[in-house]
Amino acid sequence: MTKDHGNSIKDDEKYEALRDEGYSKSKSAAIANAGDSASAKGGSNPAYEEWTKQELYSRAQELDIEGRSDMSKDELIEALRK
> What residue spans define the domains of the chain?
12-41, 48-80
Q: How many CB atoms lie within 10 A of CB 71?
A: 19
User: The whole model's pTM is what?
Assistant: 0.48
Separation of alpha carbons 44 and 64, rounded Å: 23
Report pLDDT digits (tens) over 22-61: 888 888 888 888 866 545 555 667 789 999 999 999 999 9
Query: Residue 77 has what DSSP assignment?
Result: H
